[in-house]
Amino acid sequence: MANLTLRDARKTYGVLEVIKGIDLDVEDREFVVFVGPSGCGKSTLLRMIAGLEKINSGDLVIDGTRSNDIDPSQRGLAMVFQSYALYPHMTVAENMGFALRIAGIPLAERDQKVKDAAQILELSHLLDRRPKDLSGGQRQRVAIGRAIVRNPKIFLFDEPLSNLDAALRVNMRLELMRLHERLAATMIYVTHDQIEAMTMADKIVVLNSGRIEQVGSPLELYNRPANIFVAGFIGSPK
C-alpha cells in the first residue's frame, strides 16, 4: 500500500506564498504527473512531500499516517533529481548502494539489491565505472537505480529526463513506464513538458501559481479542460 493525501497544504518563503492550499489524493500504484509552467511550484510541492521542505500549514498523510513532521528517511519515499546528484568518486555500484550502506544494510544484502536493480536497468556491465565514464542516459539510470534499491513505497521524480536529448527522452519515458508496471509502485513525476504528462500519466495535476487548476486523466483534460489555462497548456480546444 502506498497512498498519499494532501489537505490544504501551504508553503511560504518569507511573505511569498508559493503553494497556496493544495488538496490531492494519490492512489496506490498510480502514476501521477505534476505539470505546469516554470516557477509554478512543482518542485516545491514534491519537496514538501519528500520532507525536504517544511509544510507551513495543512496535512500530508502517507498510508494513513500524518507525515508532516516525519523524518524524510522514514517516509518510505525515494527521490530522483534532474541533476542526477551522483557521487563522482564512487563507482556505479557504490553510488547505487550508498543509501543502503548508510542505513546499515549488510554488504551481501546490499550487493544483491544493487545487482537486481542493475539488471532491471541494464547497468550490470557498468557497475565498476565512475559517473564521468557514463553517457547521460546511463547516469540517469544510475540515479533511478539508487532509488530502486531502497524499495520505496513511493518514487518521486523531479524532471528526471530534462537533461537528455529528445530521442533518449522518448526511450527513457517508455522505460520508466515499464518500470512502473514491473515494480507496481506509486510514482509522482514532475515535468513542464505536456507531452510527457499526456503520455505517461494515469492522473495529471495541472499546477499554476501554486494552485491546482485541474486534476484528471489525460483524456479528461484533453476532452474537458476546466478553463482556458488548462486548454492552452494541454493544447486542446476550448
Contact residues for Mg ion, defined by CB under 5 A: 43
Residue nearest to Mg ion (CB): 43
- Tell the smallest beta-carbon distance from residue 82 to ligand ADP (Å): 10
Size of the site for ligand ADP (CB under 6 A): 10
Judged by beta carbon, residue 134 or residue 221, the one nearer ligand ADP is 221
What angle separates helix 166-183 from helix 136-148, to the nearest 10 degrees? 20
Judged by beta carbon, residue 43 or residue 186, the one nearer ligand ADP is 43
Site string for ligand ADP, 4-43 (x = CB under 6 A): ---------x----x-----------------x-xxxxxx
Judged by beta carbon, residue 52 or residue 107, the one nearer ligand ADP is 52
- Tell the smallest beta-carbon distance from residue 193 to Mg ion (Å): 12
Q: How many residues does the chain have?
A: 238
- Tell the smallest beta-carbon distance from residue 13 to Mg ion (Å): 14
> Distance between CA 228 and CA 74 in Å, rounded?
40
> Distance between CA 4 and CA 97 in Å, rounded?
27
* Sign of the four-CA dihedral 97, 98, 103, 107: positive
Query: Do the strands 4-13 and 16-26 form a parallel or antiparallel pair, or are they unpaired?
Result: antiparallel
156: buried, middle or exposed (CB in 10 Å: 19+, 13-18, 0-12)? Answer: buried
Site for ligand ADP in 38-77 (CB under 6 A): 38-44
